[in-house]
Structure 1
Amino acid sequence: MPELPEVEVTRLSFADRIAGARIGAAVLGKPLRWPLGIPVQQLTGRTVRGVRRRGKYLLLDLDEGLLLLHLGMSGSLSFGPQLPPRGVHDHFELVTTRGTLRLHDPRRFGAVVFVPDEASPQARKLLGGLGMEPLSDDFDVVAFHAGLKARRAAIKQVLLAGDVVVGVGNIYASEALFLAGIRPTLSAARLSRPRAARLHAAIRDVLARAVEKGGSTLRDFSNAHGENGYFQLDAMVYGREGQPCRVCGTPIKAIRQGQRSTFYCPTCQKN
């Protein structure tokens, strides 16, 4: 699933190029996770003012309303002046004066939803429960620690839940916990203020480096230019079960948490 770094990399790959574009046509293919919310023809004639991100959602600000886009499990966006003919898995398209934006989603778990504004009930339903943005100035270490202290679940699961801090997906949670020296099974409520501060810094560091490297391509992720990400090549623990820790040499262990694989070093990461 594309996580926060992949969504941010996608945004950066087309946001400047589509800003100011006028929509000449819009096409909706097979149904996605949620209905668009308006007849697709009503998007014609509107102007794309810019592209923002909230968690794993892309927000296309229009001169009237906005579109919330989610890539789901396997979705990707492409944008360019001349795209190939639409295929069977291309389910949404905006044809604009600056190029065509297309959502490709083989599993159709993605979504494109129109809302009048961020205060509308549908926007609040999708965005209202999201935690702090880890790459913004609003990611406050005191509030982060307070959020963790209120949760008894394992710290890895709390990070994945997204209501304390948003967008720390499976790969990046494993990597941030390694960098902070924290065992993924430790109860979030047991983290001291200094350890929470180390984790706070590690999350920012890992996500920033992931964006710099274009995200992670494990199966089929690519940005709107069609380029793959390379963060996974530098992973310290993720996907390295049985291999020696890059710091201490201890074999990396893998466990299952909430039906997801967790990787950690039993020597470097403490309870």
Structure 2
Amino acid sequence: MRCEDMIKAEAYRVMKSKAPLLLIAAGFVLALLYSASYEPWRAYGTSDWLGDGVMGFFPNPQYGFGGIPGDLVKDGARYLSAVAPLAHSLFFPIVAVLVIGYAFRTPITGSQWLVSYARGMKTVQLLVARTLVSIVMLVGGFVLFSILVGAVQSASGIGMTMDMIGEFLLRLSLAALICTTLCLLLVLAISLFGNGAFVLSFIILLLYLGYGNPNMPLHLTWLATLASPRPIQFIVPGTLLFVALATVVPIVILGLCWAIKGAIRKRSI
């Protein structure tokens, strides 16, 4: 079976499921949160590898930095309009877990795949197809929603000006890369181990583990860094390094888990 056919089959499977409706519902809820938010969703002063500054998610660029020492804000206020459209990245891990967990709720080890394997389907093809479909659906939705929020805020007179568009697009591109690696991780984990309540709860806990701790720079910590009003030039190298590691490490670890799982199954026969 060709990889193109597998991608079409998985895309059709997702469209026939309720996953797109779940994604639309998530966008609607996030839009309501944006319209009703007058405080940061998460904000605190920090001193880390990027220097003194502010970390968090700031959906409304108007309210400023109440409760945060002024020496940590520095010139961060000028970045608020560029990072406000990225505040919803706080909820991306949860949305991604729910959508991917529902769309690909059938583990690739199930008996229902026996016919497909007999017809020449390969596990790698299925994982690649699921990953690409997830990226188009989730990361594409993330990018479109961010641009929409930025456009609405600008039209309302509280958003970014023309000179901040480049800053916003760079942050958005880096955040999209982080979200892409997250989709890869989730597809591998859920496809191999299923979407049981324990598996999904453990994944969500892991993704939010250490958020805000500079010594544990996981996905959400990097999303928070990109969505924070801090100078972007100090963030780019670390983000690209994390993207490279977050792409390779899950493939290696889950590949080893798959090999061990197969070896155990053979010994039990």
The reply to whether TM is greater than 0.5 is: no
Q: Normalised by the shorter chain, which TM-score bucket?
A: under 0.3
More strand by share: 1
Structure-2-length-normalised TM-score: 0.25
- Higher RCO (CA-CA < 8 Å; seq separation 6+): 2
More helix by share: 2
